[in-house]
């Protein structure tokens, strides 16, 4: 058996999601060629991925034509890839070994968002993934009860580090641990947002493949804080079948789109009522809310979850229910998240490195496609897209070039989610000392700088 012939044969097998061969995707690991046996691992980039056995069978078929091929032993396993944006130097230390952060959100309360969060997270954990749940629903944290931790209180922390609680093979941290069941917690928006940032930076999650974040309903300060504080792999929107729910879900969808966070798909909860001992579904809340929202925004409808007594009882008791439908939804989320991570690795609009040089007067960006741009702080400041510098209605630039200090410096750069960076300048002009710049916009500035330099020559 010849190693090149084996590799060439396996290179004819393609992944149906990426339309690329499994060799270039790095799926084939640990190949050993014995006298009569070929062994290798088929390592996919996510758990619960459909088609693992199909790819293995295609490998066997492709290898049949290799001369002197003997017995073929294929070990099927997986290894979750980390979202490249999480490698940013400003990512909180507590998240340095977390590979993906997925928000579970809804446009309104009462749609079963927390139930969906727990069900999906448990499906991942049962598949062997390292999973955590962060419950930041400050106005109605219900995750503790659903995982059997309703009476748990948050203990003291050592050196500002909070230890999550383990339940059902998952690590849990909840706003509900901060107060007793009889003591309501009342926070104004800014205080709640600060608490969310503290949770993000202070919880010792350890190694996690997926951290699921149960968001408060609606679109407010807390949602924006999370979106801008850490890079999210994506968001799952939970809705219900009613037509009005479709309209409300749009708010959450549009918010995530505005802050450039990919939406992995929509889950329609309470999609009907299934009586005990029956497979019949009664559409007591109507039909089609999730489907119409998915079609309007060109998003996957990840699945539907019906009202069932056993599921309700399990959530009340803090136990787990095995459910093929929920496992299917989790599988699709795994695939969507995997594609986001891989596409970001390949995207030219994601930076590998960003460095300030020349005492903050110059920014050097190296992009994922290895293109390097050198952009002056002056040009970045002049092209600032904030409301102080550009009329939000007309788009007319308000800032004048002559009003910017010629030696303006960037004093600080802070990542904003996975889509951009906030620069602080030493410009003394009122309201002009900081601005948020998307990576797409910075790429455009860099391309323009290269083009202008070529004309100067």
Q: How far is 153 from 105, CA to CA, in rounded Å? A: 25
Q: How far is 264 from 70, CA to CA, in rounded Å? A: 42
Q: What is the pLDDT of residues 48-90, one digit of tens each?
A: 887 888 999 999 999 998 888 889 999 999 999 999 888 877 7
Please report which helix (H) or strand (E) contains residue 71, including its range: strand 71-78
Q: How far is 291 from 288, CA to CA, in rounded Å? A: 5
Q: Please, which pLDDT band fits residue 421 given cuts at 50, 70 and 90?
A: confident
Sheet holding 170-174, edge to edge: 165-167, 170-174, 131-135, 210-214, 101-105, 234-239, 263-274, 301-308
Give, in degrees to the nearest 5, the angle at Cα 262 between 257 and 267.
Answer: 95
pLDDT at 158: 64
pLDDT at 155: 63
Check the annotation: does 155 bind a ligand: no
Check the annotation: does 112 bind a ligand: yes
Check the annotation: does 400 bind a ligand: no
Across residues 238-257, what is the average pLDDT?
76
Burial (CB < 10 A; 0-12, 13-18, 19+), residue 74, is middle
- What DSSP string runs through 339-368? HHHHHHHH-TTSEEEEEEETTTTEEEEEET
Examine the pLDDT at 39 and tell me if it is beyond 50.
yes
Compare 322 and 219 and report the one with higher pLDDT: 322
Q: Please, which pLDDT band fits residue 457 given cuts at 50, 70 and 90?
A: very low
Check the annotation: does 434 bind a ligand: no
Other residues' Cβ atoms within 10 Å of the Cβ of residue 269: 24
Q: How far is 337 from 353, CA to CA, in rounded Å? A: 23
Task: Give the list of residues 6+ apart from residue 4 with CB closer than 8 angstroms, or none.
Answer: none
Burial (CB < 10 A; 0-12, 13-18, 19+), residue 440, is middle
* Pair 175, 136: CB distance under 8 Å: yes
Q: How far is 340 from 81, CA to CA, in rounded Å? A: 10
Check the annotation: does 110 bind a ligand: yes
Q: The whole model's pTM is what?
A: 0.80
Across residues 381-396, what is the average pLDDT?
82
Check the annotation: does 304 bind a ligand: no
Buried b (16+ CB within 10 A) or exposed e, 159-197: eeebbbbebbebbbbbbbbeeeeeeeeeeeeeebbebbb
> How does DSSP classify residue 140?
-
Please choose, from the candidates 353, 390, 358, 403, the residue with its C-alpha nearest in 3D space to the C-alpha of residue 376. 358
Check the annotation: does 108 bind a ligand: yes
Q: How far is 127 from 121, CA to CA, in rounded Å? A: 10
Domains and CATH numbers, the chain: 3-78 (3.30.300.130), 84-346 (3.40.50.300), 351-456 (3.30.2020.30)
Across residues 199-211, what is the average pLDDT?
90
């Amino acid at each position: 058996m010849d190693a090149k012939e084996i590799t060439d044969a396996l290179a004819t097998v393609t992944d149906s999601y990426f339309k690329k061969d499994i060799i270039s995707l790095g799926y084939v690991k640990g190949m050993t060629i014995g006298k009569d046996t070929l062994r290798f691992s088929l390592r996919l980039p996510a758990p619960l991925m459909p088609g693992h056995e199909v790819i293995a069978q295609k490998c066997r078929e492709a290898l049949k034509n290799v001369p002197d091929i003997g017995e073929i032993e294929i070990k099927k396993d997986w290894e979750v890839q980390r979202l490249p944006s999480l490698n940013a130097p400003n990512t909180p230390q507590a998240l340095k070994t977390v590979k993906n952060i997925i928000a579970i959100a809804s446009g309104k309360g009462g749609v079963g968002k927390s139930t969906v969060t727990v069900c999906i997270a448990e499906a991942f954990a049962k598949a062997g993934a390292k999973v955590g749940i962060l419950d930041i629903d400050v106005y109605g944290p219900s995750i503790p009860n659903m995982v059997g931790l309703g009476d748990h209180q948050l203990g003291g922390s050592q050196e500002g580090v909070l230890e999550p609680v383990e339940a059902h093979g998952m690590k849990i941290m909840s706003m509900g641990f901060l107060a007793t069941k009889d003591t309501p917690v009342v926070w104004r928006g800014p205080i709640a947002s600060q608490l969310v940032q503290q949770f993000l930076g202070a919880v010792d999650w350890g190694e996690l493949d997926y951290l699921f974040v149960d968001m408060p309903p609606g679109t407010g300060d807390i949602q924006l804080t999370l979106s801008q504080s850490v890079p999210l792999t994506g968001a799952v929107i939970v809705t219900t079948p009613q037509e009005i729910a479709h309209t409300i879900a749009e708010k959450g969808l549009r918010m995530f789109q505005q802050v450039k966070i990919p939406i992995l798909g929509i889950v329609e909860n309470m999609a009907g009522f299934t009586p005990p001992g029956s497979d019949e579904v009664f559409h007591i809340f109507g039909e089609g809310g999730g489907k119409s929202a998915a079609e309007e925004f060109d998003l996957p409808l990840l699945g539907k979850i019906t009202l069932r007594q056993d599921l309700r009882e399990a959530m009340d008791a803090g136990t787990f229910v095995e459910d093929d439908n929920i496992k299917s939804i989790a599988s699709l989320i795994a695939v969507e998240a995997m594609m986001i991570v891989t596409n970001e690795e390949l995207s030219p609009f994601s930076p590998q490195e960003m460095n300030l040089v020349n005492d903050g007067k110059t920014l050097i960006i190296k992009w994922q496609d290895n293109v390097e741009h050198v952009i002056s702080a002056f040009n970045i400041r002049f092209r600032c897209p904030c409301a102080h510098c550009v009329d939000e209605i007309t788009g007319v630039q308000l800032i004048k070039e002559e009003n910017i200090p010629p030696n303006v410096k960037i004093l600080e750069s802070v990542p904003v989610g996975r889509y951009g960076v906030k620069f602080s300048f030493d410009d003394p002009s009122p309201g002009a000392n900081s601005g948020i710049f998307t990576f797409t916009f910075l790429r455009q500035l860099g391309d323009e700088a290269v083009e202008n330099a070529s004309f100067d020559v």
